[in-house]
Amino acid sequence: MDAEEWSNRCKNVALAMAKAVRPYLTPISAEVEADWGELVGSGAYVSYNDDVFVFTNAHVLSALKGRRGGHYLKNSGEDGESAAVVALEKPFGILTSPSDTAVVKVSPKAWTEEGKASSAIPFSRFAGTHAPVDRELLFFIGFSGERSKPLYGTLFTTGTPYTSQEPEGAKVPDFPEHEFHVLYPIGLIGDLGEEQKGAPLPPGFSGSLVWNTRYVESIQNGTEWTPEDAVVTGILKRWIEKEELLTAARVERTGFRGLCDAIKRG
């Protein structure tokens, strides 16, 4: 296929993935005043052994700096509808660098009453290891600080979806057994209609889950692809501006299962 056809396919994968995963997403904010906050990172709702958790980075929770933190549950699937801000409550499950992961249990009462339009990723959709085929399309949605602002007592932020790939010939990650890189060439990222207008700066993307779409794999296997084929393969944690790269923790090094189990044991 030529470059134009491949570009169109990438856009279609991004749009399909964005529609499929948006109900799982939440910005994470820190309280600034009683009625509004500021974005500190991104997160996702995950279902594990009958409980719902927020998965994010350890450094995102550290950015709260003693302030109250919140995640956002949607009671309506309508675009533009406000979301209920729910406190991030201790205990937190945290692994510091190089994993840089964190888990927070969601109140079952809040999930039932406030999260009717939010969904949780079944933990079965987390890959056992980060092992995409060569040149596979990776996908994430991040909440950029550049596109977030307090408005009428509410934090207004829009997640921005991307398909990308692991780079060829890029510098080795600082912790090769724990990390992989995702290309983020700001000047070359195209629009996805109203879903995306250009590329914002990445601060705020931290805590976004990275999906192995398995789109290229499906082409190789001669099967029809759907977003349900995608699996979580890592979590974004750092931007390397000079190299135009985002660094992610490999799914097998995140420790998410152990963190959830520790919280459930109390």
114 with 145, same domain?
Answer: no
Write the DSSP string, 117-176. Answer: T---EEGGGB-SS--PPTT--EEEEEEEEEEEEEETTEEEEEEEEEEE-PPSSPPPPSST
Same domain, 133 and 248: yes
Residue that is written with structure tokens 């990776």 in the block:
138
Q: Are residues 140 and 179 in the same domain?
A: yes
Same domain, 66 and 130: no
Q: In this structure, are 236 and 184 located in the same domain?
A: yes
Q: Same domain for 249 and 209?
A: yes
**For 158-199, how does the pLDDT look when each residue is reduced to its tens digit (9 = 90+)?**
677 889 999 987 678 889 999 999 999 876 565 444 445 557
Determine the pLDDT at residue 111: 95
pLDDT of residue 229: 98
More confident residue, 104 or 195: 104
Q: Are residues 118 and 214 in the same domain?
A: no
57 and 103: one domain? yes
Residues 6+ apart with CB under 8 A from 100: 57, 58, 59, 237, 238, 249
Segment 203-247, tens digit of pLDDT: 889 999 999 999 999 999 999 999 999 999 999 999 998 899 999
Q: Across all residues in the chain, what is the average pLDDT? A: 87
- Domain tally for the chain? 2
- Predicted structure pTM score: 0.91
Pair (56, 79) in one structural domain? yes
Q: Is the pLDDT of residue 71 over 80?
A: yes
- Same domain? 243 vs 129: yes
Q: What is the pLDDT of residues 144-155, one digit of tens each?
A: 856 655 544 455
What CATH number does residue 86 fall under?
Answer: 2.40.10.10
Closest by Cα among 106, 29, 107 to 67 = 29
Please give the average per-residue pLDDT across 59-82, as a whole number. 81
d(CA 120, CA 248): 21
DSSP symbol at 194: B
Q: Note whether 73 and 86 are within 8 A (CB).
A: yes
Rounded Cα–Cα distance for residues 109 and 194 (Å):
34
Output the six-digit token pair for 209. Answer: 């889950």
159 and 149: one domain?
A: yes
Question: Are residues 137 and 201 part of one domain?
Answer: yes
Q: Residue 229 is part of a domain; what is its CATH number?
A: 2.40.10
Domain range for residue 156?
Answer: 3-22+124-253
